[in-house]
């Protein structure tokens, strides 16, 4: 909230709209030209110009920053400054999804931070965004105050002047906080709480189909049972998504049969109507063919309260895979420990068979974010490494022709399905609990844009 992006997506439609950049155009297959808004300033009063954009994008590649965004921006060649408000981003290969990427990431940072410690930068606001971070109690809450210098203040005169973002992991605790009037908006509500909130005259429930796909992933880069495609296929066929949606999500989700959500700029397709569907008999046969008829023990883990009914769904998955001989009690943990556990398996420090239940959102809508992030050899959330896959993805992302690129992305999705690299369980709806005293419209991309909130 303390930083702005060059572009934004419109609430409701999801269409790209101007933000810090008042306009942009494609110069050629490997270049986009942007024009910044006149008068935009950082929250300390420093003018925001093209040099600041060049600095901000350059930070992504600075080894000292250790940015996790580097793989997504790796095809950027340079930022050419034309004047204070005009610049061109040139790429090493065609990047059809660059505007989508810049709508979600690539926050514009004040160049005065150049010699600051990265940790210091993260603890304070050094952007041009609508809010300024005033207090951060780690693991508990963050307090923001409205930025009086924000370039878009005139359009949102009724936005909240003070915001408190609280971290409440347990679903039930979040619901109680809303009912008690301690908070005004809560996220990630499990379906079974919805009737309870709807019955409260002070509250309302807002639900919207969203970007996040909840899925199983299998660690296979360092060997073990999940390195065998047949075992991954077996688990795919053991999962009953319909039962999970009905039991735990109360209909606020839908079965999903691909790893790209509908708002990506390319690659999502209505052709995918199944993904290794529920078939326990076939699952058992595949386990037998792979030499695991007697099963094996595995480490299954998920988050607590990060996604709707994550813990409950994971526990149900434990029962489903037990039917095909895999002994994998669900281990729900808080997100920092989840990330630590994931990395340990990813790097081969944990040797036992491992798989996980998590979500991937990609609010940017850049296809490369999903395909590289979830499955590339160097993907931040990838449990495996297939050179064949990486080569296909790099070639597809660098394809300028729109129709050719769509076909290439569809082929990649078929490869993922046939190799059972993941098991998409469901695509969730974002369900919010809202105090009726505020006006709030949920977004498809999981963004929570507080400048669009107002008190009635």
The 10s digit of each residue's pLDDT in 374-399 is: 999 999 999 999 999 999 999 999 89
Residues 87 and 160 in one domain: no
The 10s digit of each residue's pLDDT in 97-155 is: 999 999 888 899 999 999 888 777 877 789 999 999 999 998 899 999 999 999 999 99
Residues 257 and 374 in one domain: yes
The 10s digit of each residue's pLDDT in 249-260 is: 888 899 999 999
Residues 33 and 80 in one domain: yes
- In-domain check, residue 117: no
- In-domain check, residue 120: no
State the pLDDT at residue 402: 92
Residues 185 and 228 in one domain: no
Rounded-to-10 torsion of CA 300, 303, 304, 310? -70
Residues 149 and 271 in one domain: no
* Closest C-alpha among 320, 302, 318, 301 to residue 310: 302
State the pLDDT at residue 167: 92
Domain count, the chain: 3
Query: What is the length of the chain?
Result: 456
State the pLDDT at residue 364: 81
Residues 56 and 91 in one domain: yes
Residues 149 and 223 in one domain: no
Residues 6+ apart with CB under 8 A from 300: 314, 317, 318, 321, 328, 329, 330, 331, 354, 355, 356, 357
How many Cα atoms sit within 13 Å of 369 on the Cβ side?
A: 27
- In-domain check, residue 419: yes
Distance CA 304, CA 433 (A): 18
Residues 195 and 325 in one domain: no
Does residue 186 have a pLDDT over 90? yes
Other beta carbons less than 10 A from residue 438's beta carbon: 14
- In-domain check, residue 138: yes
State the pLDDT at residue 13: 79
Residues 153 and 88 in one domain: no
Query: What is the overall mean pLDDT for the chain?
Result: 93
Distance CA 225, CA 297 (A): 10
Query: Global pTM?
Result: 0.81
List, as one string, the DSSP characters of 107-133.
----GGGTTS-HHHHHTS--S-SSEEE
- Give the 3-state secondary structure of residue 319: helix
The 10s digit of each residue's pLDDT in 259-284 is: 999 888 888 999 999 999 999 999 99
The 10s digit of each residue's pLDDT in 324-353 is: 999 999 999 999 999 999 999 999 999 999
Query: The CATH number of the domain where 434 resides is what?
Result: 3.40.190.10
Tokens matching residue 399: 């394809």
Query: The CATH number of the domain where 412 resides is what?
Result: 3.10.105.10
User: Could you tell me the pLDDT band of residue 189, with boundaries at 50, 70 and 90?
Assistant: confident
- In-domain check, residue 125: no
Domain encompassing residue 204: 131-209+430-455
């Amino acid at each position: 909230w303390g930083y702005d992006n060059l572009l934004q997506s419109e609430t409701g439609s999801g269409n790209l709209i101007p933000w810090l950049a008042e306009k942009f155009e494609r110069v050629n297959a490997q270049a986009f030209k942007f024009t910044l808004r006149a008068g935009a300033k950082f929250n300390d009063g420093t003018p925001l110009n093209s040099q600041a954009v060049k600095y901000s994008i350059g930070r992504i590649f600075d080894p000292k920053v250790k940015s996790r965004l580097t793989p997504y921006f790796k095809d950027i060649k340079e930022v050419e400054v034309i004047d204070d408000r005009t610049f061109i981003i040139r790429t090493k290969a065609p990047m059809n999804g660059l505007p989508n990427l810049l709508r979600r990431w690539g926050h514009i940072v004040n160049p005065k931070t150049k010699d600051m410690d990265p940790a210091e930068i993260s603890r304070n606001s050094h952007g041009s965004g609508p809010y300024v971070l005033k207090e951060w109690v780690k693991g508990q809450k963050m307090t923001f105050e409205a930025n009086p210098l924000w370039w878009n203040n005139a359009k949102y005169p009724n936005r909240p002047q003070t915001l408190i973002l609280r971290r409440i992991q347990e679903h039930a605790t979040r619901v109680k906080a809303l009912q008690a009037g301690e908070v005004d908006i809560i996220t990630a509500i499990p379906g079974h709480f919805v009737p309870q909130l709807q019955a409260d005259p002070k509250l309302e429930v807002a639900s919207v189909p969203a970007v996040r796909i909840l899925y199983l992933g299998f660690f296979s880069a360092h060997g073990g049972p999940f390195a065998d495609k047949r075992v991954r296929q077996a688990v795919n066929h053991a999962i009953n998504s319909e039962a999970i949606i009905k039991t735990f999500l109360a209909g606020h989700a839908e079965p999903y049969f691909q790893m790209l959500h509908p708002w990506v700029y390319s690659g999502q397709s209505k052709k995918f109507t199944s993904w290794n569907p529920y078939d326990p008999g076939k699952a058992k046969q595949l386990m037998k063919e792979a030499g695991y008829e007697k099963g094996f023990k595995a480490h299954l883990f998920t988050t607590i309260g990060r996604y709707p009914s994550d813990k409950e769904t994971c526990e149900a998955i434990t029962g489903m895979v037990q039917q095909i001989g895999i002994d994998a009690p669900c281990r729900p943990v808080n997100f920092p420990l989840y990330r630590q556990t994931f990395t340990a398996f990813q790097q081969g420090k944990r040797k036992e068979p491992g798989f996980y239940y998590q979500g991937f959102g990609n609010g940017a809508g850049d296809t490369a974010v999903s395909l590289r992030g979830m499955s590339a050899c160097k993907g931040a959330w990838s449990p495996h490494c297939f050179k064949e896959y990486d080569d296909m993805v790099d070639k597809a992302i660098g394809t300028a022709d729109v129709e050719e690129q769509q076909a290439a992305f569809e082929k990649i999705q078929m490869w993922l399905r046939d190799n059972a690299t993941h098991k998409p369980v469901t695509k969730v709806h974002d369900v919010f609990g809202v105090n009726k005293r505020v006006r709030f419209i949920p977004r498809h991309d999981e963004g929570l844009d507080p400048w669009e909130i107002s008190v009635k």
